[in-house]
Chains A and B, each alone.
Chain A
Protein backbone atom coordinates (compact mmCIF):
# COMPACT_ATOMS: atom_id res chain seq x y z
CA UNK A 1 0.00 0.00 0.00
CA UNK A 2 1.08 3.59 -0.61
CA UNK A 3 -0.70 6.59 0.83
CA UNK A 4 -3.00 8.58 -1.49
CA UNK A 5 -1.42 12.07 -1.67
CA UNK A 6 -3.59 14.26 -3.91
CA UNK A 7 -2.27 17.66 -2.76
CA UNK A 8 1.43 16.82 -2.71
CA UNK A 9 1.07 15.07 -6.06
CA UNK A 10 -0.75 18.07 -7.53
CA UNK A 11 1.95 20.41 -6.16
CA UNK A 12 4.74 18.18 -7.46
CA UNK A 13 3.05 17.95 -10.83
CA UNK A 14 2.76 21.75 -10.97
CA UNK A 15 6.52 22.01 -10.28
CA UNK A 16 7.24 19.56 -13.12
CA UNK A 17 5.03 21.75 -15.33
CA UNK A 18 6.84 24.90 -14.18
CA UNK A 19 10.17 23.30 -15.11
CA UNK A 20 8.78 22.40 -18.54
CA UNK A 21 7.55 25.98 -19.14
CA UNK A 22 10.85 27.51 -17.97
CA UNK A 23 12.95 25.17 -20.12
CA UNK A 24 10.89 26.18 -23.16
CA UNK A 25 10.90 29.91 -22.32
CA UNK A 26 14.65 30.12 -21.62
CA UNK A 27 16.20 27.32 -23.68
CA UNK A 28 13.51 26.51 -26.26
CA UNK A 29 13.64 22.85 -25.31
CA UNK A 30 11.13 20.12 -24.51
CA UNK A 31 11.57 18.94 -20.90
CA UNK A 32 11.72 15.29 -21.90
CA UNK A 33 14.05 13.16 -19.82
CA UNK A 34 14.69 10.73 -22.69
CA UNK A 35 15.92 13.41 -25.09
CA UNK A 36 17.93 15.30 -22.48
CA UNK A 37 19.60 12.12 -21.20
CA UNK A 38 20.37 10.70 -24.65
CA UNK A 39 22.42 13.83 -25.44
CA UNK A 40 24.92 13.14 -22.65
CA UNK A 41 25.46 9.47 -23.49
CA UNK A 42 28.66 9.26 -25.59
CA UNK A 43 28.99 10.25 -28.39
CA UNK A 44 27.92 13.49 -26.71
CA UNK A 45 25.55 15.96 -28.34
CA UNK A 46 27.29 19.26 -29.16
CA UNK A 47 25.02 21.07 -26.66
CA UNK A 48 25.64 18.64 -23.81
CA UNK A 49 26.38 21.43 -21.29
CA UNK A 50 22.83 22.54 -20.50
CA UNK A 51 21.71 18.91 -20.53
CA UNK A 52 24.30 17.90 -17.93
CA UNK A 53 23.37 20.93 -15.81
CA UNK A 54 19.64 20.07 -15.95
CA UNK A 55 20.36 16.46 -15.00
CA UNK A 56 22.66 17.53 -12.14
CA UNK A 57 19.90 19.76 -10.78
CA UNK A 58 17.35 16.96 -11.05
CA UNK A 59 19.64 14.52 -9.22
CA UNK A 60 20.47 16.77 -6.26
CA UNK A 61 16.98 18.31 -5.83
CA UNK A 62 15.37 15.52 -3.75
CA UNK A 63 18.25 15.49 -1.26
CA UNK A 64 18.08 19.29 -0.96
CA UNK A 65 14.30 19.14 -0.40
CA UNK A 66 14.74 16.46 2.27
CA UNK A 67 17.56 18.35 4.03
CA UNK A 68 15.97 21.83 3.98
CA UNK A 69 12.30 21.04 4.64
CA UNK A 70 12.64 17.87 6.71
CA UNK A 71 10.12 16.32 4.34
CA UNK A 72 10.40 12.56 4.17
CA UNK A 73 10.60 11.33 0.59
CA UNK A 74 9.16 7.80 0.49
CA UNK A 75 11.00 5.36 -1.77
CA UNK A 76 10.43 1.66 -2.16
CA UNK A 77 11.47 -0.55 -5.08
CA UNK A 78 9.77 -3.94 -4.91
CA UNK A 79 11.49 -5.30 -8.05
CA UNK A 80 14.28 -7.93 -7.72
CA UNK A 81 17.69 -6.80 -9.05
CA UNK A 82 17.78 -9.01 -12.18
CA UNK A 83 14.40 -7.60 -13.21
CA UNK A 84 15.64 -4.04 -12.63
CA UNK A 85 18.38 -4.74 -15.18
CA UNK A 86 15.94 -6.30 -17.67
CA UNK A 87 13.43 -3.50 -17.07
CA UNK A 88 16.10 -0.81 -17.42
CA UNK A 89 17.29 -2.18 -20.77
CA UNK A 90 13.69 -2.45 -21.98
CA UNK A 91 12.82 1.09 -20.85
CA UNK A 92 15.98 2.50 -22.48
CA UNK A 93 15.30 0.83 -25.83
CA UNK A 94 11.59 1.64 -25.68
CA UNK A 95 11.92 5.35 -24.96
CA UNK A 96 14.67 5.70 -27.59
CA UNK A 97 12.62 4.16 -30.41
CA UNK A 98 9.40 5.72 -29.08
CA UNK A 99 11.10 9.17 -29.04
CA UNK A 100 10.08 9.98 -25.48
CA UNK A 101 8.70 9.01 -22.13
CA UNK A 102 6.31 10.28 -19.47
CA UNK A 103 7.85 13.76 -19.31
CA UNK A 104 8.44 14.35 -23.04
CA UNK A 105 5.30 12.74 -24.50
CA UNK A 106 3.05 12.61 -21.43
CA UNK A 107 3.51 16.20 -20.24
CA UNK A 108 5.17 18.39 -22.90
CA UNK A 109 3.72 16.61 -25.94
CA UNK A 110 0.15 16.37 -24.68
CA UNK A 111 0.33 20.02 -23.53
CA UNK A 112 1.07 20.89 -27.19
CA UNK A 113 -1.76 18.55 -28.29
CA UNK A 114 0.71 16.56 -30.38
CA UNK A 115 -1.11 13.55 -31.90
CA UNK A 116 2.12 11.51 -31.74
CA UNK A 117 2.50 12.19 -28.03
CA UNK A 118 -1.15 11.45 -27.26
CA UNK A 119 -0.90 8.09 -29.05
CA UNK A 120 2.47 7.30 -27.43
CA UNK A 121 1.18 8.13 -23.94
CA UNK A 122 -1.98 6.05 -24.32
CA UNK A 123 0.18 3.18 -25.64
CA UNK A 124 2.72 3.14 -22.82
CA UNK A 125 0.13 3.73 -20.09
CA UNK A 126 -1.91 0.79 -21.38
CA UNK A 127 1.18 -1.42 -21.72
CA UNK A 128 2.25 -0.54 -18.17
CA UNK A 129 -1.18 -1.31 -16.70
CA UNK A 130 -1.35 -4.64 -18.56
CA UNK A 131 2.18 -5.56 -17.43
CA UNK A 132 1.41 -4.74 -13.79
CA UNK A 133 -1.81 -6.76 -13.99
CA UNK A 134 -0.03 -9.79 -15.44
CA UNK A 135 2.83 -9.63 -12.92
CA UNK A 136 0.65 -9.09 -9.85
CA UNK A 137 -2.57 -10.92 -10.63
CA UNK A 138 -1.63 -13.63 -13.14
CA UNK A 139 2.00 -14.53 -12.33
CA UNK A 140 1.65 -13.69 -8.65
CA UNK A 141 4.75 -11.46 -8.50
CA UNK A 142 8.30 -11.44 -9.84
Chain B
Protein backbone atom coordinates (compact mmCIF):
# COMPACT_ATOMS: atom_id res chain seq x y z
CA UNK B 1 0.00 0.00 0.00
CA UNK B 2 2.75 2.46 0.95
CA UNK B 3 4.46 1.49 -2.30
CA UNK B 4 1.42 2.53 -4.35
CA UNK B 5 0.84 5.67 -2.29
CA UNK B 6 4.45 6.76 -2.68
CA UNK B 7 4.28 6.26 -6.47
CA UNK B 8 1.12 8.39 -6.52
CA UNK B 9 2.83 11.21 -4.59
CA UNK B 10 5.93 11.05 -6.83
CA UNK B 11 3.61 11.21 -9.86
CA UNK B 12 2.04 14.32 -8.34
CA UNK B 13 5.47 15.95 -8.01
CA UNK B 14 6.31 15.02 -11.61
CA UNK B 15 2.99 16.36 -12.93
CA UNK B 16 3.37 19.57 -10.92
CA UNK B 17 6.82 20.06 -12.43
CA UNK B 18 5.49 19.54 -15.96
CA UNK B 19 2.67 22.04 -15.31
CA UNK B 20 4.75 24.74 -13.60
CA UNK B 21 7.65 24.47 -16.05
CA UNK B 22 5.53 25.00 -19.18
CA UNK B 23 6.35 21.58 -20.66
CA UNK B 24 2.59 20.95 -20.54
CA UNK B 25 2.05 23.62 -23.21
CA UNK B 26 2.67 22.40 -26.81
CA UNK B 27 2.88 25.97 -28.15
CA UNK B 28 5.69 26.75 -25.69
CA UNK B 29 7.55 23.55 -26.56
CA UNK B 30 7.30 24.27 -30.30
CA UNK B 31 8.57 27.80 -29.74
CA UNK B 32 11.63 26.42 -27.95
CA UNK B 33 12.54 24.57 -31.15
CA UNK B 34 11.70 27.50 -33.43
CA UNK B 35 15.13 29.11 -33.32
CA UNK B 36 14.49 30.94 -36.59
CA UNK B 37 11.12 32.32 -35.45
CA UNK B 38 9.31 32.92 -32.14
CA UNK B 39 12.06 31.39 -29.99
CA UNK B 40 11.24 30.84 -26.30
CA UNK B 41 14.35 29.55 -24.45
CA UNK B 42 12.37 28.49 -21.33
CA UNK B 43 12.70 24.76 -21.92
CA UNK B 44 16.47 24.97 -21.59
CA UNK B 45 15.79 26.03 -18.00
CA UNK B 46 13.44 23.07 -17.50
CA UNK B 47 16.11 20.65 -18.68
CA UNK B 48 18.78 22.48 -16.68
CA UNK B 49 16.79 22.42 -13.43
CA UNK B 50 15.81 18.77 -13.87
CA UNK B 51 19.34 17.67 -14.77
CA UNK B 52 21.04 19.45 -11.87
CA UNK B 53 18.67 17.95 -9.28
CA UNK B 54 18.69 14.47 -10.83
CA UNK B 55 22.46 14.28 -11.36
CA UNK B 56 23.19 15.32 -7.76
CA UNK B 57 20.34 13.22 -6.29
CA UNK B 58 21.30 10.06 -8.19
CA UNK B 59 24.88 10.31 -6.89
CA UNK B 60 23.63 9.93 -3.32
CA UNK B 61 20.73 7.55 -3.99
CA UNK B 62 22.72 5.04 -6.04
CA UNK B 63 25.29 4.65 -3.24
CA UNK B 64 22.65 2.74 -1.29
CA UNK B 65 22.53 -1.04 -1.74
CA UNK B 66 18.86 -0.97 -2.76
CA UNK B 67 15.82 1.32 -2.98
CA UNK B 68 13.29 1.43 -0.13
CA UNK B 69 10.49 -0.55 -1.80
CA UNK B 70 12.44 -2.93 -4.01
CA UNK B 71 15.33 -5.39 -3.77
CA UNK B 72 17.43 -3.66 -6.41
CA UNK B 73 17.76 -0.64 -8.67
CA UNK B 74 16.34 -1.26 -12.15
CA UNK B 75 18.91 0.48 -14.34
CA UNK B 76 19.12 0.03 -18.12
CA UNK B 77 22.01 -2.28 -18.99
CA UNK B 78 22.13 -1.92 -22.78
CA UNK B 79 25.15 0.04 -24.03
CA UNK B 80 24.56 -0.36 -27.76
CA UNK B 81 24.13 2.74 -29.89
CA UNK B 82 22.19 0.88 -32.57
CA UNK B 83 19.68 1.50 -35.34
CA UNK B 84 16.52 1.20 -33.17
CA UNK B 85 17.90 3.83 -30.76
CA UNK B 86 18.82 6.28 -33.54
CA UNK B 87 15.86 5.69 -35.86
CA UNK B 88 13.40 5.56 -32.96
CA UNK B 89 14.72 8.78 -31.46
CA UNK B 90 14.68 10.56 -34.82
CA UNK B 91 11.10 9.36 -35.39
CA UNK B 92 10.08 10.59 -31.95
CA UNK B 93 11.60 13.98 -32.77
CA UNK B 94 9.55 14.27 -35.98
CA UNK B 95 6.35 13.57 -34.03
CA UNK B 96 7.38 15.98 -31.25
CA UNK B 97 8.04 18.64 -33.89
CA UNK B 98 4.62 18.08 -35.51
CA UNK B 99 2.64 18.23 -32.26
CA UNK B 100 4.72 19.84 -29.48
CA UNK B 101 3.65 16.92 -27.28
CA UNK B 102 6.16 14.49 -25.75
CA UNK B 103 5.02 11.58 -23.53
CA UNK B 104 5.93 13.31 -20.24
CA UNK B 105 4.31 16.56 -21.28
CA UNK B 106 1.12 15.06 -22.69
CA UNK B 107 0.07 12.79 -19.78
CA UNK B 108 -0.27 15.65 -17.23
CA UNK B 109 -2.10 17.71 -19.91
CA UNK B 110 -4.88 15.08 -19.81
CA UNK B 111 -5.88 16.33 -16.37
CA UNK B 112 -6.54 19.85 -17.64
CA UNK B 113 -9.26 18.38 -19.86
CA UNK B 114 -7.95 19.58 -23.21
CA UNK B 115 -9.29 17.46 -26.09
CA UNK B 116 -6.05 17.86 -28.06
CA UNK B 117 -4.11 16.13 -25.28
CA UNK B 118 -6.58 13.23 -25.18
CA UNK B 119 -6.45 12.79 -28.96
CA UNK B 120 -2.63 12.86 -28.92
CA UNK B 121 -2.28 10.44 -25.98
CA UNK B 122 -4.78 7.97 -27.46
CA UNK B 123 -2.79 8.00 -30.71
CA UNK B 124 0.52 7.70 -28.85
CA UNK B 125 -0.72 4.69 -26.86
CA UNK B 126 -1.83 3.09 -30.14
CA UNK B 127 1.62 3.84 -31.58
CA UNK B 128 3.36 2.16 -28.63
CA UNK B 129 1.06 -0.88 -28.84
CA UNK B 130 1.59 -1.25 -32.61
CA UNK B 131 5.36 -0.84 -32.23
CA UNK B 132 5.46 -3.52 -29.51
CA UNK B 133 3.36 -5.86 -31.65
CA UNK B 134 5.59 -5.35 -34.70
CA UNK B 135 8.73 -6.00 -32.64
CA UNK B 136 7.22 -9.27 -31.38
CA UNK B 137 6.37 -10.35 -34.93
CA UNK B 138 9.84 -9.42 -36.20
CA UNK B 139 11.63 -11.25 -33.38
CA UNK B 140 9.41 -14.33 -33.82
CA UNK B 141 10.29 -14.46 -37.53
CA UNK B 142 14.01 -13.93 -37.09
CA UNK B 143 14.41 -16.45 -34.26
CA UNK B 144 16.00 -19.54 -35.75
CA UNK B 145 16.44 -22.91 -34.07
CA UNK B 146 19.93 -23.27 -32.60
- The interface on chain B, measured as residues whose beta carbon lies within 8 A of the other chain's beta carbons, has a size of 115
B4 close to A62 (CB less than 8 A):
no
Binding site for A on B (CB under 8 A): 3-28, 30-31, 33-38, 40-43, 45-55, 57-58, 61-62, 64, 66-70, 72-76, 78-81, 84-105, 107-114, 116-117, 119-132, 135
B88 close to A62 (CB less than 8 A):
no
A46 partner residues in chain B, CB cutoff 8 A: none
Nearest Cβ on chain A to B42's Cβ, whole angstroms: 4
B67 close to A64 (CB less than 8 A):
no
- The interface on chain A, measured as residues whose beta carbon lies within 8 A of the other chain's beta carbons, has a size of 111
B28 close to A59 (CB less than 8 A):
no
| Complex interface residues of chain A between 98 and 120 (CB less than 8 A to chain B) | 98-99, 101-103, 105-112, 114-116, 119-120
A111 close to B55 (CB less than 8 A):
yes
Binding site for B on A (CB under 8 A): 1-31, 33-34, 37-38, 41, 49-51, 53-66, 71, 73-79, 81, 83-99, 101-103, 105-112, 114-116, 119-121, 123-133, 135-137, 142
B92 close to A127 (CB less than 8 A):
yes
Q: Which of B28, B42, B84 is A99 in contact with, Cβ under 8 Å? A: B84
B131 close to A17 (CB less than 8 A):
no
A56 partner residues in chain B, CB cutoff 8 A: 8, 11
A129 partner residues in chain B, CB cutoff 8 A: 33, 35, 93, 97
B93 close to A123 (CB less than 8 A):
yes
The distance in angstroms between the C-alpha atoms of A109 and B88, with both chains bound, is 16
Q: Which of A5, A37, A130, A133 is B22 in contact with, Cβ under 8 Å? A: A5
The distance in angstroms between the C-alpha atoms of A93 and B9, with both chains bound, is 29
The distance in angstroms between the C-alpha atoms of A96 and B136, with both chains bound, is 12
Taking A12-B22, A123-B86 as contacts, is the C-beta distance between A18 and B124 under 8 angstroms? no
B13 close to A59 (CB less than 8 A):
no
B128 close to A12 (CB less than 8 A):
no
